[in-house]
Amino acid sequence: MSGLKEVIVFLDKVGLYDVVLPFLLVFTIVFAILEKTKVLGVQEVEGKKITRKNLNAIVAFVAAFLVVASTKIVSVMNQVLASTVLLALLAVLFLALVGIFVKTEGESIFLQGGWKVLFMVIMFLGIILIFLHALGWLMPLWQALQFRVSMQVIGTLALFAFIVISIYFITKETPSAKKEG
């Protein structure tokens, strides 16, 4: 086994991935939220109002320990974070593909109009599916759907959706047609 792999296995045995990193992540997020929202109040020091960092740190510390104490929450966090990073990588690769096929002179490439909305909806649905899968709810939903709906029904619905989308794109008005009418 290589040296780096041995280090990673050692860190796993020590609990870095199951205890330390989730603790740091939750602590950082909770502390940042408490600092930004000033929920626990502010104090005046030398004429300046500053947040109560000591209270924010204690609350964030306790919240992080409570999260780490629950192995179910930590396992869901680990799975969701890994899948979300995968989804972000997919988004970057998708945008790289868009950049390959679209050429603009001196401008950045951004999705506009309907493509932007479609991309946001796909990413949102991807995140929802990631959370459902991490919680273990996706498989029972899929199995219930699979036993109640036959492949013929799914094929018919897919064909119907394709026809409706095709009709929409064929018959929609272009911006120049709206100006003329």
- Total domain count, the chain: 3
Residue 38 belongs to domain spanning: 1-69
Same domain, yes or no, for 115 and 156? no
Question: Mind listing the pLDDT tens digit for each residue in 96-126?
Answer: 766 665 556 666 556 667 777 787 778 778 8
Same domain, yes or no, for 103 and 133? yes
Paired sense of beta strands 48-51 and 42-45, if any: antiparallel
49 forms beta bridges with 44
pLDDT of residue 60: 95
Question: Mind listing the pLDDT tens digit for each residue in 82-98?
Answer: 888 888 887 887 777 66
pLDDT of residue 45: 87
- Sign of the CA dihedral with 174 first, then 175, 177, and 181 last: positive
* Percent over 90 (pLDDT), the chain: 20
